[in-house]
Chain A
Amino acid sequence: MTPDIDRRDRLSLTWRDPPGWWGFLTTVDHKRIAARYIVTALLLLFLAGMLALDMRWQLSWAENRRMGPQLYNESFSLHGSTMLFLVSVPAMEAMALWLVPLMLGQRNMAFPRLGAFSYWLYLGGVLTLWVAHALDITPDLGWFEYPPLSGPNYAPGHRADIWAQMITFTEVAALCASVNVAATILKMRPPGMTLARMPVFLWAMLVASLMTILSMPAIMLVTSMLIADRLVSTHFFAPAAHGDVLLFQHLFWFFGHPEVYIIFIPATGFVSSIVETFARRRLFGHHVLVLAILAIGCLAFGLWVHHMFAVGLPRLGNDFYTAASMAIAVPAGLQIFCWVATIATGRPWLATPMLWVLGFVVTFVLGGLSGVMTASAALDLQLTDSYFVVAHFHYVLVGGAMFPLFGAFCYWYPKATGRLMSERWGRIAFFLIVGGFNLGFAPMHLLGLLGMPRRVYTYPAGMGWEGLNRVATLGSAIAMTGGLVFVTNALLSYWRGARAGADPWGSSTLEWAGESPSPPWNLPYTPVVDSLTPLWNAPVLRVMDGIAVERREVLVTSVVDAAPLYRQKSASPSIWPFVAALAVTAMFLGSIFTPWAIVAGALPIAAALTGWFWPQRARATTGPLRVRS
């Protein structure tokens, strides 16, 4: 799909960003925005990883004096909040933001400015938490701050408010990103890509986005109630005034459990893409994989109580949640079977992305099985809030989501940068990270069974925990070293890697049809699709004509059949998303200190939104749409 020079020039003129800083602040290019997300998330992954190492150091000796209780509590709170709210979820959204338009052969997302807004707001959340940390007002009550501990009586100062508002930031950002992704996937698929011909990756991103839209409001509600308790003396969670502390837990986990799958489901999309490419055959069980993702997406909303088995809720209800939680193993097991079957009947090429998939299967299945153990309402009474659970969720989140993410990073790196990462250093990083991780976290299962609770800054000598803790520290340090090798490899390859060309892996999906790195306008023509693996089936990809080149235009198609409906003007670069995010940031930060900030802060937001949506010109009306070969 090589355009003539003239078309290329005209597209570049239409889709380019203004130069310099103004362009940096005003861009609505989904690839630039996604790159910012990824870089920010990687930086935070490093910082939160260093916190983890520090905590591991502290726990390597009984009664260690490296950290006092306050510093330790701040460290695990910052580590958990950062990893869950500021690394895992945004990294998955970033991958969607980057790849969805490319995989659809579109020029941009459905709502380009909303994409820019979501990043700036996410950055606001990042800065809120980490600038607060620099100013020594770090939240210190964990990544879920249960009242009454986080209520006005037991958490004076603003640490808990910082945490609650950081959540509000990231949740608004996540909602914006999810609405954008869902609308793009549903309404902007290329002609011929019916729902039945949609790659698993897009299904995964669609389901994760819908789950975000359905679950995030619960946590925004609950953190807002917490802030109201703290700021204007409501009594939602005050037992003395007939408030209920368990309401917080229900609402938190109604979001918190789907969140795990909001992180995991995109990872299954990465794995599916990588397995298909590197097994060098069409994915076995496409329909099974899609149905499994849908099943997990639905079940995820029916099992939040398994985080609350020790709370003392009615036992019969708990048994229902046991069954629902274990039921997740059915679709997850079928997914694993489909991937393994694809590998078995293909001709695998064990390049680094594929290694990460193997690491994922070996590690994630362990996490899934320890999940089956904690899903038992009875057995969980011994396991919950112990190091067993720490081991379990790290196996699921790191093994189940981060390993596929690293694999996806290696896989799509050539598309993003035009260069290949070093395979040798990639393999070294892989073995260090996967080996170190397993060495570090496997002993924690045993530590939990030996009675070590989580979130303790120290423990007395003679508990039999020291040896295992030291092994855990050693493993974490090895994994961290591997992480540094991985990042160094990515940085060096950016300048020194071999040129990748359009499609270095011989992949099947549309993002590989155009040049690497993708130009601002993505593909020169709108592709027309007639199978699940368009680049493998047609010798030459058919394309569609009729989308304007002189204006920013995208194609809107129907939800089920992806039949062309109309051409839609695509937003041009604008400073308003940045201004709006600044206004929202000011309101959120102000509301930590006074409720009046919500009133006063609404005015600048209204002004920014007015500027953002100021009518510009009517919808484009030129020439008919037609398909050509």
Chain B
Amino acid sequence: MSARLLVAYLLLIGCAGTQSTLDPGGDQAGALFSLFALTMWVCGAIYTVVAAGLGWALWQAWRRRGVDARGDGDVTHRTDRRLTRLLPFVAGTIVLGLTVLITASFFADRALFATRAAPALEVRVTGHQWWWRVEYRDPASGGWIETANELHLPQGQTVRLALGAADVIHSFWVPNVAGKLDMIPGRTNLLDITARRAGWYRGQCAEFCGMQHAHMALAVKVEPPAAFRAWLAAQAAPAGAAAGRGAMVFATACAACHAIRGTGAGGRAGPDLTHVAGRRTLAAGTLTMTRGNLQGWITQPQAIKPGTSMPAVPLTPADADAVAGYLAGLQ
């Protein structure tokens, strides 16, 4: 009830958003939001008591002005005895409040990390400086279907994310869906998430990972299971037959780092581009996906995202145009 009131209030002041802990769209974020609301009430009550106590103290002192209590007067001794009797109540109240919070935190934590027997889907998310490699376990073949910088989740189903890192430490955080979990080189962290509300959300790397930490966002789409299955099947398919100048330029200038399944391009250093034009954003949330942005990104990556591993490949304007046109066709 109180949580709902809080939500209503926050919606009123515009706190609902696609990257907000206050607008949960999944089980894990929902549990954490309830815990947050409870903690807010307890801490708010404690603060009120302290502030009232300080106000009362100042008022008492104001009434007693004119009396100098320096030295060990009898008055001080008597009041001290009374105050000393209050100490156990103060300590007891704090311990009580903390016990409530520790217990609530403990059970919330249990719920978040309870092992679920068979998740509907396994997804491997790997952090790179500064993008996300995302791989889905193909339910049909058992192989991995690779994409990048965009995570699709079937609504209402539990997905197991295997989080890892290829270079430095990153942290996976989609606040509307779940709390963060670090992605650490040499380790794999498992995170079960259950998204409930369909729509687009935004995640962002939450552990400083170098120069472009700010431009490491992840677009997250929660969609009905049927739509998700259709999307995944489309992702599994290789790119359509490549022909023309764009594909040729790509094969010589880009294929060392980028893969496009169904063509000879098989580079692993950068994101897989098999269906790049179907994604919502470009360069890990730096740009929206348009043909113009694609071409701008290809010609001037260092101006758009200084420090990115994507080099400015020297292409003639005509070649750049051809490659952008080719990529824009990879739906």
Contact = CB atoms under 8 A, between A and B. Distances in A.
Contacts of B208: 141-142, 146, 149, 385, 454-455
B91 interface: yes
A13 interface: no
Interface string B118-137: 00000000000100000000
A84 B60 CA distance: 38
Contacts of B129: 154
Given A279-B61, A382-B32, A372 B101 contact: yes
Given A282-B70, A285-B83, A451-B19, 6 more contacts: A142-B208, A281-B69, A329-B98, A372-B39, A378-B31, A463-B19
Interface stretch (B180-188, B272-280, B289-297): B180-188
A450 interface: yes
Interface of B: 14-15, 17, 19-22, 29, 31-32, 35-36, 39-40, 43, 46-47, 50-51, 53-54, 56-58, 60-61, 64-72, 76, 79-80, 83-84, 86-87, 90-91, 94-95, 98, 101-102, 104-106, 108-110, 112-113, 129, 167-169, 171, 173, 175, 178-182, 184-187, 189, 202, 204-214, 285, 306-307
A376 B101 contact: yes
A311 interface: yes
Interface string A139-159: 011100010110001100000
A384 B206 CA distance: 8
Given A330-B95, A340-B57, A341-B83, A310 B109 contact: no
A168 interface: no
Given A69-B212, A379-B105, A464-B15, A366 B21 contact: no
Contacts of A615: none
A366 B104 CA distance: 21
A245 B14 CA distance: 40
A386 B182 contact: no
A431 B40 CA distance: 27
A340 B57 CA distance: 6
B231 to A, nearest CB: 25
Q: Interface size for chain A: under 10, 10 to 19, 20 to 34, or 35 or more residues?
A: 35 or more
Interface in A237-256: 239-240, 244-246
Contacts of A453: 173, 204-206
A337 B54 CA distance: 9
Contact of A457 (B108, B185, B214): B214
Nearest to B28: A381
Interface string A277-290: 00111101100100
Contacts of B47: 365-366, 369
A235 B213 CA distance: 25
A420 B204 CA distance: 52
19 contacts: A69-B211, A146-B168, A148-B169, A240-B186, A282-B76, A326-B101, A333-B91, A334-B90, A343-B57, A365-B47, A373-B39, A376-B35, A378-B32, A384-B206, A449-B36, A453-B204, A453-B205, A464-B14, A508-B70
B296 to A, nearest CB: 15
A312 B182 contact: yes
A32 to B, nearest CB: 32
Contacts of B22: 449-450
B20 A239 contact: no
Contacts of B56: 344
Interface string A334-370: 1011001101111110000000001001100110011
Given A334-B91, A378-B109, A450-B17, A343 B58 contact: yes
Interface in A118-157: 140-142, 146, 148-149, 153-154
A280 B69 contact: yes
Contact of A312 (B57, B61, B83, B189): B189
A456 interface: yes
A246 B307 contact: no
A146 B168 CA distance: 9
A343 B40 CA distance: 28
B182 A322 contact: no
B182 A449 contact: no
A487 interface: no
A326 B15 contact: no
Nearest to A326: B98
B214 A69 contact: yes
Interface of A: 68-70, 73, 140-142, 146, 148-149, 153-154, 239-240, 244-246, 279-282, 284-285, 288, 310-312, 315, 318-319, 322-323, 326-327, 329-330, 333-334, 336-337, 340-341, 343-348, 358, 361-362, 365-366, 369-370, 372-373, 376-382, 384-386, 446, 449-451, 453-460, 463-464, 506, 508, 531, 533, 536-537
Contacts of A245: 169, 184-186
Nearest to B175: A451
Nearest to B93: A333
A384 B171 CA distance: 11
Contacts of B21: 382, 449-451
Given A285-B84, A312-B184, A457-B214, A319 B109 contact: yes
Contacts of A454: 208
Nearest to A370: B43
A289 to B, nearest CB: 11
| A-B pairs with lowest CB-CB distance, top 5 | A381-B179, A239-B186, A344-B57, A281-B69, A451-B19
A341 B87 CA distance: 10
B181 A312 contact: yes
Contact of B167 (A148, A372, A385, A457): A148
B71 to A, nearest CB: 5
A336 B50 contact: yes
Nearest to B211: A69
Contacts of B58: 343-344, 348, 358
Contacts of A343: 54, 57-58, 61
B50 A361 contact: yes
B72 to A, nearest CB: 7
B60 A344 contact: yes
